Amino acid sequence: MFAPVYFHRATVPRGMELLDDSIVPEHARDVKAEAREFAHEHIEPNAQKYFQSGEYPEEILAAGQESNLVAQDIPERWGGRGLDLAQLLAMTEEFYRADAGIALTLQLASFGCEITYEHGTDDQCEEYLRPVAEGEQRSGLAVSEPETGSDLSGMQTRAEKDGDEWVIDGEKYWIGNGVEADWITLYARTGDDEENPYGNHSMFIVPTDTDGYEAEHIPEKMAMRASKQAHIEFDDCRIPEENLIGEIGDGFLMLADFFNHGRIAVAGHGLGIAAAAIEETWTFTHDREEFGRTISDFQAVQHGLADMILEFESARALTWRGCQKVANGENAGYWAAMAKTKATEMAVDVSERGMQFHGGRSILDERRIARVYRDARIPVIYEGANEIQRNLIYGQAP
Ligand SMILES: Cc1cc2nc3c(=O)[nH]c(=O)nc-3n(C[C@H](O)[C@H](O)[C@H](O)COP(=O)(O)OP(=O)(O)OC[C@H]3O[C@@H](n4cnc5c(N)ncnc54)[C@H](O)[C@@H]3O)c2cc1C
């Protein structure tokens, strides 16, 4: 018979490192290290300040552009580094651990660019992608609308051909950088075929200084406050015909493909947020004393911490597996939806538990756990609410 072994408290490490790189493919480890150093120097120390003020972190974005860590999935021929999905995920985990709001701003600076380098012309890439890759401009992706969010085939903003122009009318909501961007990728209705609802939308490049484009910030958010979203109104907004990306009617399929990559990134949002929650809670529970001992000495707390780590590691394993599957184009929609759902819900669960172990201090605005807890609520919604992900998982199960 083996006697159970109990470790003395002194053998339990006080700090912890959850985002180790052993699961990260070798070619992505250098950029992960760069992202970590940047996050440590620029994001972490400013996280609370921007969360409280709700200001757009211009100077951190500029530093990220300067350090070649923003918009660098854009291929080298258009001025980027051509970072692949694994490299983006590795960076994402690091940035979101440091702060989700600032991280979202860094990531949204080139939101939607992938659609142009995957489906656009060389001229479009040269004119619109290069300035983003070189840190001169920023982009956005406008899909969601005030009256429609989850139903991608139901979006109503319309683009009508008039001579050699497209005329856009309608509204978009929740659009990252809708105010700050130099141009956006727009998902708009170009057909009404009820037999083929997935062929009714197309993608366009819309410069934000075009007449008929009006954007204002949406009301202040309770989470990811260092990122900005907009309500956009299009009123007889005319763009040249050459601003159509790819073929008419291919918008839905382009978007589905784009979201497969995006959902792996959003799984990374969940992992980064969860790592922050667990690390913060680990430190707190090993410092806080009650009943003459640290609260981490209570077995109930130890089991809670163990569950948090278990859930984190499970989600991280699934995410990196999903990343490989999506990169290889193997049932990408299924794996992306699974990774996104698991990692983002795990982040909600571990941050909730972290709040409990922080006791009354959990609700103090100045506490990192309070910020992380609020931020964790967002990735379960954006890039498709998790109910939609479950539809995809069920529908595409092998
Ligand atoms: C911080 C933030 C940033 C964002 N950035 C962008 C951006 O840059 N560009 C952009 O285009 N959009 C953006 N979005 C919008 C985001 O993608 C939508 O919020 C999301 O798709 C959900 O749409 P909705 O909010 O309209 O919710 P709805 O579609 O109204 O859904 C509400 C709820 O209903 C339930 N539900 C809906 N449909 C189903 C279903 N079929 N089955 C079961 N349950 C269902 C779910 O619980 C869902 O959460 C952003 C959102 C946030 C919060």
How far is the C-alpha of 239 from the C-alpha of 362, rounded, in Å? 50
Residue 300 belongs to domain with CATH number: 1.20.140.10
Q: What is the residue with the minimal CA distance to atom 51 of ligand 1?
A: 382
Helices and strands, counts by H and E, the chain = 13, 10
pLDDT of residue 7: 46
pLDDT of residue 6: 47
Distance 333 CA to ligand 1 centre (A): 18
Residue 74 belongs to domain with CATH number: 1.10.540.10
Cβ-in-10-Å burial (0-12, 13-18, 19+) of 398 comes to exposed
Indicate the pairing of strand 139-142 with strand 183-189: parallel
- Answer yes or no: are the C-beta atoms of 169 and 236 closer than 8 Å: yes
- Answer yes or no: are the C-beta atoms of 78 and 117 closer than 8 Å: yes
Residue 100 in contact with ligand 1 by CB distance below 6 A: no
Tens digits of residue pLDDT in 355-364: 999 999 999 9
Verify that 385 and 257 share a domain, yes or no: yes
The boundaries of the domain holding residue 382 are 253-396
How far is the C-alpha of 39 from the C-alpha of 33, rounded, in Å? 10
Which one from 93, 94, 280, 383 is the annotated catalytic residue?
383
pLDDT of residue 2: 54
**Residues of the chain where predicted confidence (pLDDT) is lower than 50:** 5-13
Verify that 238 and 322 share a domain, yes or no: no
**Short-list 211, 189, 207, 240, CA closest to 139:** 207
Tens digits of residue pLDDT in 215-246: 999 999 999 999 999 999 999 999 999 999 99
Q: Which atom of ligand 1 is nearest to the CA of 172?
A: 11
Q: Which of 116, 133, 150 is the last residue of a domain?
A: 133
Distance 384 CA to ligand 1 centre (A): 6
Q: How far is CA 142 from CA 42, 66, 100, 230, 290, in A?
A: 28, 26, 21, 10, 51
Residue 387 in contact with ligand 1 by CB distance below 6 A: yes
Distance 355 CA to ligand 1 centre (A): 26
Structure tokens at 172: 């978009």
- Answer yes or no: are the C-beta atoms of 388 and 381 closer than 8 Å: no
Instruction: Report yes or no on 48 lying in a domain.
Output: yes
Number of domains, the chain: 3
* 83: amino acid identity, one letter: L
Ligand 1 pocket mutation, candidates 96, 108, 150, criterion most atoms within 8 A of CB: 150
Give the predicted TM-score (pTM) of the model: 0.96
SS3 75: coil
The residue with tokens 């379960």 is 380
pLDDT of residue 224: 97
Q: What is the residue with the minimal CA distance to atom 16 of ligand 1?
A: 382
383 included as an active-site residue:
yes
Verify that 392 and 271 share a domain, yes or no: yes
Distance 154 CA to ligand 1 centre (A): 13
